[in-house]
Structure formats: C-alpha cells, structure tokens
Amino acid sequence: MYMNIELIRKKTGFICDMDGVLYHGNYLLKGASEFVNWLKSENKKFLFLTNSSERSPKELAQKLARLGLEVDESHFYTSALATASFLASQCPGGSAFVIGEAGLINALYDAGFSMNDVNPDYVVVGETRSYSYERIERAVFLVQRGAKLIGTNPDLTGPSEKGIVPATRALIAPIELATGKKAYFVGKPNPLMMRVGLKRLGCRSEDTVIIGDRMDTDIIAGIESEIDTVLVLSGVTNMDNINDFPYRPKYILNDVGDIVKGL
C-alpha cells in the first residue's frame, strides 16, 4: 500500500471527482480536508471534474468553503459546462428544453442557447429536484417531434448523506422508454470530459491520475483515456461490487486521506 501511495503522490496532475470523494451531500468526508490542503501545499495541478450538473463552478467553490475548504472556482469543471460546450459546437445558437437545475440552465445560456418548450433542438436532462410527470410528458412530446435527447451524464445513482439517490440516467430512462430514442450522454466516461480535463491541467495522461468512487464512470474513464485510476471506497463502490465489473482500478484506497498518509 505504501509503495502504491508513493506512486500516486509523484503524479503532477490530479483529476478528482467530488460526490463520494470529498463529500456526501453537505457532509465532508474523512481525509478530504487533508487531501485538498496537500494538493495546494505541494503545488499540484488539480481539477475537480464532476458529473453533477446542478451547480456552477462558483457555487461548488462556495459549497466547499461552507464545508471548510478554500478552492478557487477555476479548479472546477462540470458535466453542465461540458454539455453546453458540446451542444454549442453542434448547433451554435440553438435552443433546448431543460429538465435540470440552475447550473445546467446557466451553462447553456452562457454558451449562447435559449430555452424553448415548443420546438427546441434538444431536450437536455440533468440532476434535478423539480422532476415531475408534466415535464417528462413534455419532453416525450418534444423528442417525438424531433428534438435530440441529451443527458449531462450517465450516472444511474449518486451518493448523499441520506444514502443512494437516483441520478441522471435514472431520470432520463422514462423518456427513452416512451420515445424509443436513446440519449447521448456527455459526462464521464465520455472522452470529451477527460480531454478537457487534461487540457485544463496542462498535463500529459501519463503524469496524471483520476480519483473517483464510481467504477462505471470515473474508473472506466481513466482506463479508456490511459490515465492511472484510483478508486476510493468512500462513495458508491465497495470491495464486493468491484467484482461486478470486468475491469479493475490501478489503486484502491479507503479515502483520499490515504494519499496524504504517504508522508
């Protein structure tokens, strides 16, 4: 374990998930504070690359501040930003019907998109607490009329302080089933997110490590991008369900605090 941690610590760039790695909901996880302080004290290049689309980078920075961690908003990149960038490249000045929160809506506005519930180019779904039958019904109608279906990320579930909760793929499933149309998901493990992460860090893949709690997004994203992977057991994955997947992470730690313990 000690040798493995030393190999992780030698990396230049760190791409790190947030939910299940740094916090569950509004609860800071063990070792998170020590890990973030270590990243800064060692002058590591780091980016919090999250599949969550609910909050903007500014809001994420404010959330960490409330939990006692000071991180500049330049260190955050979300699936909402990735989705907005992708759609703007596909359909500049387009429009969307959105089932999601302010972080996603504002990212689309900033990318030049407008909101449209009549004849949008896209139906975009992200995490939301304003999920309703009426909005699903509208989305189904619009997709049937030709709008393309987009998911900010393919996560079925996510961790919270109360336990596991439904995430984007679970929320978008009724629309897929009712229309017969498959959504395109932009977030991890889509290589788009990983390429952006490496560009923002200014690091090569061999000098970078990705840290996450999900085998089906974080770990497979790293494997497919040839980035060393660190699975932490502080989120949705445990030693039993690791065996449900036909691939393995390079390293397995209890939490991100284990990296600092290499001192």
pLDDT band, very low/low/confident/very high, at 3 (cuts 50, 70, 90): low
Nearest-5° Cα angle at 25, 19 to 30: 70
Measured CA to CA, the distance from residue 153 to residue 45 in angstroms comes to 24
Closest C-alpha among 155, 130, 200 to residue 51:
155
Tokens of 130: 């304003």
Q: How far apart are CA 74 and CA 58, in angstroms?
A: 9
In this prediction, residue 162 carries a pLDDT of: 76
Averaged pLDDT for residues 224-232: 95
pLDDT of residue 190: 92
- Can you give the pLDDT at residue 229? 96
The pLDDT of 82-101, averaged and rounded, is: 97
pLDDT-based confidence at 87, cuts 50/70/90?
very high
Residue 52 has pLDDT above 70, yes or no: yes
The residues of the chain that CATH labels 3.40.50.1000 are: 2-51+188-260, 81-185
Dist. CA 228–CA 129, nearest whole Å: 34
The mean predicted confidence, pLDDT, of the chain is 93
| pLDDT exceeds 60 at position 151 | yes
3 to 65, 158, 253: CA distances (angstroms)? 33, 31, 13
- Residue 261 confidence (pLDDT) above 90: no
> Coil, helix or strand for 213?
coil
Q: Which fold has domain 81-185?
A: Rossmann fold (3.40.50)
Residues known to be catalytic: 17, 19
Number of Cβ atoms within 10 Å of the Cβ of 44: 16
pLDDT of residue 157: 84
Question: Topology of domain 2-51+188-260, per CATH?
Answer: Rossmann fold (3.40.50)
175 pLDDT higher than 90: yes
What is the C-alpha to C-alpha distance for residues 193 and 187, in angstroms, rounded to an integer?
6
Amino acid at 104: L
Query: What is the Cα–Cα distance from 117 to 135, expressed in whole angstroms?
Result: 10
- pLDDT tens, position by position, 241-257: 999 999 999 999 999 99
Residues 78-106, mean pLDDT to the nearest whole number: 97
Residues in a beta bridge with 23: 19, 28
Rounded to two decimals, what is the model's pTM? 0.90
* Residue 53 and residue 104 in contact, taking contact as beta carbons nearer than 8 Å: yes
Q: What phi and psi, each to the nearest 5 degrees, are found at residue 79?
A: -65, -25
Task: Give the Cα separation of 211 and 13 in Å (integer).
Answer: 11
Q: Which of 107, 152, 161 is nearest to 128 (CA)?
A: 152
